Amino acid sequence: MTNHWIDIKNSDAILIMGSNAAEHHPIAFKWIMKAKERGAALMHVDPKFSRTSARCDFHVPLRSGTDIAFLGGMIRYIFETDSWFKEYVVNYTNASFIVSKSFGFSDGLFTGYDPETRRYDKTSWRFERNSSGAPLRDDTLQHPRCVLNVIRKHFERYTLDSVSATTGVSKADLVRVYDIFCATGKPDKAGTMLYALGWTQHTVGVQNIRSAAIIQLLLGNIGVSGGGINALRGEPNVQGSTDHALLYDSIPGYHKAPVASWQTLADYNKANTPVSHVKGSVNWWQNRPKYVTSLLKAWYGDSATPENDFCYGLLPKLADGEDYSYMFIMDRVFQGKMRGGFIMGVNPMNSFPNTHKMRKALDNLDWLVVTEIHNSETSDNWRRPGADPAKIKTEVFLLPSAHRIEKEGTISNSGRWLQWFDKAVEPEGEARNFGNFWVPFINLMRKMYEEEGGACPEQLLKMRWYEKFDASDIAKRINGQFEADCEVNGKKYRKGQQVPMFTALKADGSTSSLNWLYAGSWTEEEGCKAKRRDPSQTPMQAKIGLFPNWSWCWPQNRRILYNRASVDLNGRPWDPSRAIIEWKDGKWVGDVPDGAQPPMAQSGVKPFIMTTDGTGLLFGTAPADGPLPEHYEPAETPIKEHPFSSQLSSPCYKYHKSAYDKMAEPADPAFPYVLTTYSLTEHWCGGGGTRAVPNLLEAEPQLYVEMSHELAKEKGIANGDGVIVESPRGAVEAIAMVTIRIRPFEVMGRTVHLIGMPFAYGWTTPGCGDSTNRLTIGACDPNTTIPELKACCVNIRKANKLTEIA
């Protein structure tokens, strides 16, 4: 989230899209309702009417997978109605930058596309630059190739007619949403967009969010209270686990994982440390070498010296451009290329798409370690329905895991608040927390390598490792410590003391930190700030629900990111009634500002300190699939063509080929209906934990499929009937729930039906049904490799008898 849960109450217009917030974040929804009490407009754009729709002013049904068409239409509308916030856009975004002559877009493809590799060569996606390297700009925004005009032209095709024909949303509904949201393009109005997996789980997931970013920058809604783009993160510590990079492609603190072509730390720093030629750009990532060296120092301790590149050479290096994410892991397991694995606190045999392939794949492992609270469809895969254990070789070690209340430490909520939790009771039976497995496990591995030798023992032995897992000790190391006696701003620190904040981190080995973002969270001066329970606020902070003294948040306790964009060039809030920061008597008051320098008119400092050129990126060259969003159909689509180009689906999405990776043809008559999937308030994601709780299972006992009355009539299905839903990848039994919550769509002149199913059920809970994801598809976003769990094509029929559902 750019903002935080409570801040949502400050909004004038809330567009909930790709999220069923009332169902999945019920407690946070109270802040959305607070906004409504203040007179905010609440809009829900989603394939089905849900608990969220019921709380909103109105619901707009949208065919799953057409969000970019919907949002692209809004971008066009912003220009058509001249709703964009000019002072903000000119000063704070790259709207005025001149795009290179070599850049182009034609019939759904940007310049540089290679159909063989399904990748773009991005060299033409750049700005014209002067001799010193600064981008050329036209602040009058007249230049035909300035970003604003390139965007205006790109979205000219997104007319109400085309958008309506593609999305299935009526023109009246489009205009209704556009009018309300575009009204926030004024200095004293704020609109927010709330999204979740309904935006990310598509082959165009990143571009869905890029569309939101373009709209929010054009309307001046980024950095302001009640504004922002807010990912309503679902998993309990998914913010923290991302910050600490339980991901192949990054290392803690949002640095890229080293690849083979970066052989030395100097290579790494050169490739990853941006240089800005724009006056006033803070270009914060120029500090990256300090954070990376401090991370290496935290990992390798005294073994890490300037002479040995701080042990950078010992880090595993990825093959350049290779994908090691879970869909690729599982494909390699399927191909028999893996010997073993660790699966902790996740249930892929229920939650990953194309589950039949996943379940078959796991049989190929020699050994598997599963760390869980309960037996799950993953731990017990060897005895799944239809499998013969006598033919499955995999050794499985199932380790009992401690629950939250049985351990201490910190988590980071969706608004980046670092919250400490104490241990209430000892772990049940012999259960252990994850740290209490990995620390002794690595100690044992180190002992074996010391005694026996083996492959590259120094990779393990040169690490600074821990005698036992102690959450406080690790939390302090995450903050960072001095590795030598140092002086910061005139204050002396001894070796081993806590660094006061990330500006104290150095690239010379005198500091260590397991994650620079968290530097400042546990200091000598104030101790563990995650434990703070002080609700005090200034009147200015109270007005917008800012609690700077309750816990702590990264970075630097800044509660609203990009907050320097909430003020004008002189540091005056665009809207004084919901000021986050203000330049008063020569200093900033309110939230911790994005940099302490005086306002832009005095200092020239631009508000977007994390981008190289200091501006919000209307035109962004980072995504693999284009510098601007473009509508493409899902990998499986009920239509053969759309009005925007002849490029039907994303030219870049990733997929695998195997007998288990079947896909329906576009507009395949065998699979005519769109399936979307979701979870439930009463069950946690795949349901592994909550199905074991009787009161929750009683509330939501079995797998169902929601469908319209029209489709039910067509198929001769009555409410409560047992049905079979089929995709090219599998068949699933469910109970029919015939409802007005789902309505047929008018798409490209014909009727398209959509059905919806939760995915919380699995065979280890008898009689409740089995994985919905046996239907879903392994087509993935080219940037994130997140699979398209929200849209695939299926058929449905009445079942003669049910075997999965009691």
List the interface residues with another protein, window 446-465 (CB under 8 A): 448-449, 452, 454-456, 459-460, 463, 465
Q: CB of 775: closest distance to another protein in angstroms?
A: 17
Q: Is 33 one of the binding residues for another protein (CB under 8 A)?
A: no
Segment near another protein (CB under 8 A); pick from 230-238, 273-281, 482-490, 708-716:
230-238
- Single residue of 120, 299, 334, 552 touching another protein by CB under 8 A: 299
Least separation in angstroms between CB 411 and another protein: 6
State residue 697 phi and psi, 5-degree precision.
-65, -35
Binding mask 679-708 for another protein (x = CB under 8 A): --xxxxx---xx-xxxxx--x---------
**SS3 of 768-787:** ECCCHHHCCCCCECCCCCCE
**Residue 553 and residue 560 in contact, taking contact as beta carbons nearer than 8 Å:** no
- Smallest gap from Cβ 74 to another protein, in A, equals 26
Contact flag: residue 24 with another protein (CB under 8 A): yes
Tokens of 217: 């920058």
The bridge status of strand 13-17 relative to strand 191-195 is parallel
Tell me how far, at minimum, the Cβ of 519 lies from another protein, in Å: 13
For residue 435, the number of C-alpha atoms closer than 13 Å in the C-beta half-sphere is 19
- Chosen residue from 42, 69, 217, 314 binding another protein by CB under 8 A: 314
Determine if 369 is a binding residue for another protein (CB under 8 A). Answer: yes
Nearer to another protein, 541 or 708 (CB): 541
Binding letters toward another protein, positions 777-796, x by CB under 8 A: -------xxx--x-------
Query: Could you say which of 274, 301, 435, 672 contacts another protein (CB under 8 A)?
Result: 435
CA distance 71 to 56: 19
The one-character DSSP state at 98 is B
Q: Which is nearer to another protein, 234 or 598 (CB)?
A: 234
Answer whether 545's CB lies under 8 Å from 6's CB: yes
The least CB distance from residue 715 to another protein, in Å, is 31
Site for another protein in 624-643 (CB under 8 A): none
CA–CA distances in Å: residue 237 to residues 242, 251, 562, 716:
8, 17, 23, 45
> What string of DSSP letters covers 718-777?
-TT-EEEEEETTEEEEEEEEE-TTS--EEETTEEE-EEEEE----TTSTTB---GGGSS-
Q: How far is the CB of 254 from another protein (least distance, A)?
A: 12
Q: Judged by CB, which is closer to another protein: 281, or 371?
A: 371
Helix (H, G, I), strand (E, B) or coil at 58: strand
Residue 163: φ, ψ to 5°? -65, -45
Segment near another protein (CB under 8 A), from 228-236, 556-564, 573-581, 660-668?
Answer: 228-236
Among 134, 136, 183, 373, binds another protein (CB under 8 A): 373
Is residue 167 a contact point for another protein (CB under 8 A)?
no
Contact 548, 541 (CB under 8 A): yes
Binding positions for another protein, 47-106, rule CB under 8 A:
none
Element (DSSP H or E) covering residue 254? none
3-state SS, residue 522: strand
Contact between 429 and another protein by CB under 8 A: the answer reads yes
Binding-site member from 146, 229, 361, 475 for another protein (CB under 8 A): 475
Among 474, 486, 610, 748, the residue binding another protein under the rule CB under 8 A is 474
Q: Write b or e for each residue in 542-557: b if 16 or more Cβ atoms lie within 10 A of its Cβ, otherwise e.
A: ebbbbbbebbbbbbbb
Compare residues 79 and 328 and give the one whose CB is closer to another protein.
328
**Which of these ranges, 277-285, 424-432, 503-511, 596-604, lies near another protein under the rule CB under 8 A?**
424-432
Task: Find the binder of another protein among 533, 586, 740, 749 (CB under 8 A).
Answer: 533
Where residue 188 falls (left for φ over 0; alpha for ψ -120 to 50; beta otherwise) is alpha
Q: 495: exposed, middle or buried (C-beta count within 10 Å: 0-12, 13-18, 19+)? A: exposed
Structure letter (DSSP) for residue 51: H
Is residue 27 at the binding interface for another protein, with CB under 8 A as the rule? Answer: yes
Q: How far is the CB of 695 from another protein (least distance, A)?
A: 6
Contact 194, 15 (CB under 8 A): yes
- Least Cβ distance, residue 63 to another protein (angstroms): 22
534-593: which residues touch another protein (CB under 8 A)? 535, 545, 547, 550
Q: Is 344 in the site for another protein (CB under 8 A)?
A: yes
Mutual orientation of helices 265-272 and 288-300 as an angle, nearest 10°?
140
Shortest distance (Å) from residue 19 CB to another protein: 12
Closest approach, Cβ 451 to another protein, in A, equals 11
The answer to whether 92 touches 216, Cβ cutoff 8 Å, is: no
How many amino acids of this chain bind another protein (CB under 8 A)? 161
Please check whether residue 474 is in contact with residue 434, taking contact to mean a CB–CB distance below 8 angstroms.
no
Q: Could you say which residues in the range 234-293 bind another protein, by CB under 8 A?
A: 234-248, 251-252, 257, 260-261, 263
Binding mask 492-531 for another protein (x = CB under 8 A): ----------------------xx--x-------------
The residue among 173, 197, 191, 192 whose CA lies nearest residue 60 is 173
Report the site for another protein in 198-217 (rule: CB under 8 A): 200-201
